[in-house]
Structures are given as structure tokens and as C-alpha cells.
Amino acid sequence: MARILVMDDDSQIRGLVRTILEGDGHQVMEAQDGVEGLRQFQDEPSDLVVTNVFMPEQDGLEAIKALRAIVPDLPIIAMSGGAFGGKVESSGVLGTASRLGASCTFQKPFDAPTFAGAVRDLLGPS
């Protein structure tokens, strides 16, 4: 199936997303922030990227902008769970991710079947 890069500073979320994606037969790579993720993407491009919005080093919004500059039509899923470093997320941060180029967004926690369906929709027919 597809090669998917998951960027999230929370190893439990990366594990959950990995389980969902591997359950659909995808190959999953993981990165704990945008810097590591972009390095991995440049070394081995992915068919789809899943990124958390709030991460240390480089956040998901910066990663989305950088990925769009490399591959303008890359499917990107942005997700967010609320806060980072005492900064409370407003409902607008996922809207910002969409305006920067995220193909779709998810608020954590999310429904696994809905998430898997969005990935299938973004990747299109096999």
C-alpha cells in the first residue's frame, strides 16, 4: 500500500496512528517533531504525512509549509489535541493548518475508523 510518515511528539499517539495505518497495510515511518520528519521525508519521500500541530523543535504548521514547498500536492493530515507548553489551542489552529495546506484535520482524540477512512480517501484508489 502506501508509505506514510507520522510526526508527533507523543509516542503513544504515534503508536496508535501506526496501528491504524498498518492495519490497512501501510508502511509507517515515525518522527518526534517536524525537523526529524522533514529530514526523513527528504531522505525517503512518503505518499502521505500525518502531523501533530503542537510539537517542539518545529511545529506542524511549519512542517506543513515546508512540505508544501517540496511537494505541492502531497496529502497531509493535521491533528491536534489541545495544548503545548501551556499554550491552549483555540479551535482556529486546525483551520490555520487547513489554510497552510493540510488536506484534512482531526481533533484528538479521534475516531479510528473515521481516520482510516480519511487516509483511504486521500490516497485514492490503490
Condensed to tens digits (0 to 9), the pLDDT of residues 23-34 reads 999 999 999 999
The pLDDT tens digits of the residues spanning 38-64 come to 999 999 999 999 999 989 889 999 999
Percent of the chain with pLDDT over 70: 91
Amino acid identity at 39: R
The share of the chain scoring above pLDDT 90, in percent, equals 79
Measured CA to CA, the distance from residue 57 to residue 15 in angstroms comes to 20
For residue 91, pLDDT over 90 is answered with no
Q: What is the pLDDT of residue 109?
A: 86
Task: Tell me the one-letter amino acid at 6.
Answer: V
pTM, full prediction:
0.92
d(CA 35, CA 21): 22
DSSP annotation of 55 reads -
pLDDT confidence band for 86 (50 / 70 / 90): very low
What are the structural domains of the chain? Answer: 3-113 (3.40.50.2300)
